Amino acid sequence: MTVHPPVVGHCDELQDALAAFRASAHITQRWGEQLAAVLSGGGRLLAAGNGGSAAQAQHLTAELVGRYRDDRPPFSAIALHADTSSTTAIANDYGVDEVFARQVRAHGREGDVLMLLSTSGASANLLSAADAGRAAGLRVWALTGCEPNPLMAGSDESLCVEAATTATVQELHLVAVHMICAAFDAALDQGAGGRGTRARGARGGGTHA
């Protein structure tokens, strides 16, 4: 394994991992296209993660409810961890492992998509959510770190990022999020699900904090 210097070596680690990640571009393309079909047909995206992965999941839902680049209609996407009252109540009454699974059972419908983000691929609350999603007929997608991992095994499809550090995995997860959004918007332009009308002329740079 290559040993990189501190600080500037972070860029080198990212560059090394990005080269391998390019081979996964077809997965983000497929997910974006499938998500466009589901959401434009009235379905919903549920997303969840812990810590930094929670931020990445919420970034994805914000891009779909708001916009990625060009103006377009809003689509239904919910970051489960963002509902602090529900997550804390569920954790208190049912245990931390149920904080996402119970919300999946409440909000998910057959044919919806559940996106779970985890650098380790071993978070118990995400594994429980994956089980709940599959039982309810949702498509379960996992965006994880190195394979193999339990979340990958418990999902319908997975995109596993090979990187030396958690930070680099998270950075490539953000790249994946933006690639999914780009494929989503392109599919809408092609009329996915019959709701592909997008307002022209207004341009933005994505969702900004």
Preceding omega of 73 cis (within 30 degrees of 0): no
Residue 193 clears pLDDT 90, i.e. is over it: no
Write the CB contacts of 110 (distance below 8 Å, at least 6 apart in sequence).
Answer: 136, 137, 138
pLDDT digits (tens, 9 = 90+) for 37-51: 999 999 999 999 999
CA distances (Å), 37 to each of 19, 85, 183, 201, in order? Answer: 30, 31, 11, 24
The reported pLDDT for the residue numbered 3 is 63
pLDDT digits (tens, 9 = 90+) for 7-26: 788 899 999 999 989 998 89
pLDDT digits (tens, 9 = 90+) for 118-166: 999 999 999 999 999 999 999 999 999 999 999 999 999 999 999 989 9
Give the model's confidence band at 201: pLDDT under 50 very low, under 70 low, under 90 confident, else very high: very low
Q: Provide the whole-model pTM.
A: 0.88
The reported pLDDT for the residue numbered 205 is 44
What does pLDDT average to over the chain?
A: 91
